Structure 1
């Protein structure tokens, strides 16, 4: 059996094996090489994602292609005439992250084929083989590559017997019929028509080939493999050890942008992306030597374009949403089309109502997305509002005049209490004051000041500390005032309700203050326990400070009132 027939038998299982050269999709944008842009005039997409028109062609010639890029409607291409393919240039960054999953099969097929050709052309028996003698073998190679993935529309193989020649010696292309009815394959030999493959811009250029053969930077990294011969079937092996090189993950490149194919004067629907990699033979010194390029054109029409993505990938951050007031949300499942995103007002902004026809995607308001090409107008919410649906304040507007008036009235009564304390001390030798007890009177007035003090605390904006302080002054004031009054009544009743003829021991004011101190200590112990419980509730997301709303939906912060607070309020009102 001849070596060529033997290799043809080995070819199908080798191509069917999946040799994964991309271990992690997240790192492929850094490891896989990138192609250069088209030759000729330089043009790049504007912020909206549209493509600028080349300077060497009338603008109207390419309008259907640009319209198809946004609409995805193939009928716009049927009415347009073309004389060459149309390529989207200016996409010099890495591929979008979402492309690597669908392209994995095509990339694996390229890697498998490249490594298989590396093994073939680096074998000593085939190093001097003639191209014409092995033409059928090359036909089988390019056809097998076309069958590796249904998304591949074209597969192309070039071979260079002379690595220094600017034009490859052999150019074979296998094309799949885009119509799903016939499923036929067209095999062409384009060796004599190399220039026809690369018409002027905006058609794709030849960087998929020249960038690999004459790279501006060092070529793709090759990994060396050493093969030791231990084949018992060979009686007289010619070699006991062989050196070979295989392509690593940086060997796969892509063109500067997808393109629309022109056939019979009409654009074919479906954007194509060119993927290519090179294969190598061996020089006499056993170093790698460029032999050719294999290329596939993959149909990416079903791949989503994410204009909301960040970074330098294709079409990333090319949306028209306002970066300050809006958030961009991509619409999945739309295929290779631009403008498939919606703009949503950020937190702290709202979209005012539009006239009829201004917002075709629904009513505006908080959280409502308006999709391209209609864009919302996002206005800032009222100061202090985290989210809103209109310009109305979401917090209660404080009436400073009314608050100041209430605080002034409260301060006036507190001043009267303080003056009463001074007057009582000034007339401490008076018979009435001495009979009532100066210390007890001063204690009652001091407790009254504590009961008036909560109005001053409520004047300021509520906080956890002020809510805790409010309970302390209220409870301590209540205990001091009503505890002292109760003890005074107890002393009087003990004297006048005695049924014995003996004199009842008189209870002095100091003795009553000791009993009052015991009552205040008990209340303080309760307040300490309550404070500890409140602080623990904060760790369990049970806040003491809550947000309440009015009947109009305006919010305000207020201290949370529990049952004990209502009991104290009712008790104070009854007394």
Structure 2
């Protein structure tokens, strides 16, 4: 049972007796019908009538019995033509706080949620498909030759109906395709990542490996012929240390062969600094010893053994290791995205003031070695 609560107001009524004579005015209570007392129908198609989509708003009206009581007598309706009202099937992405109750058509579009965004089109009337399915960032429209870069909502609605009915359709093909690797915007599936010339890289890698292998006979030579006068004068121990430093530097190509990662970038720094300190530190100390010997002006003999040089070399390497440990802990290298000459993205190791400081130190060490010579 439905109970209706109505308000009453005072009103004056005049009953007309004939064309010339009116009755006496009488005052009585009349029921006021408010908006809340009415009812909105759901949208329906007026088939056979106006053949249009419409809604109806109805309110009750009551009759009065002789004893002063009221009774329900009927309803009065107002038909609303919906042809001028748009249907917005898109999700509220503009933060307008429109609830589902306010827009019952919200989130009923047929765009692919993973690759497309629904864009509402105004002034198309009360019809489905008043939207465009635009490709999201990172996706591209696979049919650029038709002059558009979106899918029409009407076509999607039609194809979806065919799919639901089990008939032949292309609904699942009306999606945007993912861009190539590294692309945020694109027009095709080509990669935006710089592609290495692997043939050239492999060639240099083979050369580096052959060079490292060639160090082994040299290492054996300095050990096997350590008592030969020429080899002995060149300090075989320091020669082997120089070869070890060279191996560390050549290993940079092996570590950096693949795509840069944080681990590879870190190892490249360690091989570079340790190798440089070992190789050029040994060369610097060898030339320093020769310089000291030739600069002595007295008859006293100056003796600087290989062990003395190795101790000093250990100090140089220790300083490099301390720098590397602090650098790795405080500011470890990262992988950055740079740009090639063809505007392609290229992954590369980060380069900051730590690297500049290390390069300046290496430059000063090299200059000191040249000055000693």
Normalised TM-score (structure 2): 0.67
CA distance, structure 2, for counterparts of residue 471 and residue 333 of structure 1: 63
Whose relative contact order is higher, 1 or 2, with alpha carbons under 8 Å and at least 6 apart?
1
Once the two structures are superposed, what CA deviation does each residue of 1:58-85 show, in whole Å capped at 9, x if it has no partner?
xxxxxxxxxxxxxxxxxxxxxxxxxxxx
1:485 and 2:283 are equivalent in the alignment: yes
Distance 1:492 1:114, change over 3 A: farther
CA distance, structure 2, for counterparts of residue 318 and residue 457 of structure 1: 53
Match of 2:64 in 1: none
Match of 2:169 in 1: none
CA distance, structure 1, for counterparts of residue 232 and residue 289 of structure 2: 15
Shift of 1:557: 0.4
Match of 1:550 in 2: 340
1:305 and 2:87 are equivalent in the alignment: yes
Q: Does the 8 A contact of 1:341 with 1:371 survive in 2? A: yes
CA distance, structure 1, for counterparts of residue 182 and residue 256 of structure 2: 20
Structure number with the higher strand fraction is 2
Distance 1:262 1:420, change over 3 A: closer
3-state SS of paired residue (2:230): helix
Question: Where do 5+ consecutive residues of structure 2 fail to align?
Answer: 9-27, 61-71, 93-99, 157-173
Matches within 5 A, 1:349-364: 349-352=139-142, 354-355=144-145, 358-359=147-148, 364=149
Match of 1:530 in 2: 327
Shift of 1:465: 1.6
Match of 2:248 in 1: 450
Question: Where do 5+ consecutive residues of structure 1 fail to align?
Answer: 1-112, 121-135, 149-154, 157-252, 278-290, 536-542
Q: Does the 8 A contact of 1:275 with 1:297 survive in 2? A: yes
CA distance, structure 2, for counterparts of residue 491 and residue 432 of structure 1: 17
3-state SS of paired residue (2:132): strand
CA distance, structure 2, for counterparts of residue 524 and residue 336 of structure 1: 74
Shift of 1:486: 0.7
Match of 1:271 in 2: 54
CA distance, structure 2, for counterparts of residue 272 and residue 482 of structure 1: 90
The count of aligned residue pairs is 308
Distance 1:334 1:373, change over 3 A: closer
Distance 1:300 1:490, change over 3 A: farther
1:562 and 2:327 are equivalent in the alignment: no
3-state SS of paired residue (1:116): coil
Q: Does the 8 A contact of 2:205 with 2:253 survive in 1? A: yes
Match of 1:259 in 2: 44
Q: Does the 8 A contact of 2:119 with 2:131 survive in 1? A: yes
Once the two structures are superposed, what CA deviation does each residue of 1:10-49 show, in whole Å capped at 9, x if it has no partner?
xxxxxxxxxxxxxxxxxxxxxxxxxxxxxxxxxxxxxxxx
Matches within 5 A, 1:199-210: none
Match of 1:432 in 2: 230
Matches within 5 A, 1:383-402: 383=181, 385=183, 387-402=185-200
CA distance, structure 1, for counterparts of residue 319 and residue 195 of structure 2: 41
Distance 1:498 1:333, change over 3 A: farther
3-state SS of paired residue (2:204): helix
Distance 1:446 1:254, change over 3 A: farther
CA distance, structure 1, for counterparts of residue 299 and residue 336 of structure 2: 61
1:116 and 2:116 are equivalent in the alignment: no
Match of 1:345 in 2: 135
Shift of 1:317: 5.0
Distance 1:503 1:306, change over 3 A: same
3-state SS of paired residue (2:144): coil
CA distance, structure 2, for counterparts of residue 317 and residue 342 of structure 1: 13
3-state SS of paired residue (1:394): coil
Match of 2:177 in 1: 379
CA distance, structure 2, for counterparts of residue 429 and residue 544 of structure 1: 48
Shift of 1:414: 1.0
CA distance, structure 2, for counterparts of residue 573 and residue 492 of structure 1: 17
Shift of 1:425: 1.6
Once the two structures are superposed, what CA deviation does each residue of 1:187-220 show, in whole Å capped at 9, x if it has no partner?
xxxxxxxxxxxxxxxxxxxxxxxxxxxxxxxxxx
Q: CA RMSD in A?
A: 4.1
3-state SS of paired residue (1:327): strand
Once the two structures are superposed, what CA deviation does each residue of 1:401-447 show, in whole Å capped at 9, x if it has no partner?
22211100111111112321122122223222322222211111111
Distance 1:402 1:261, change over 3 A: same
Distance 1:292 1:441, change over 3 A: farther
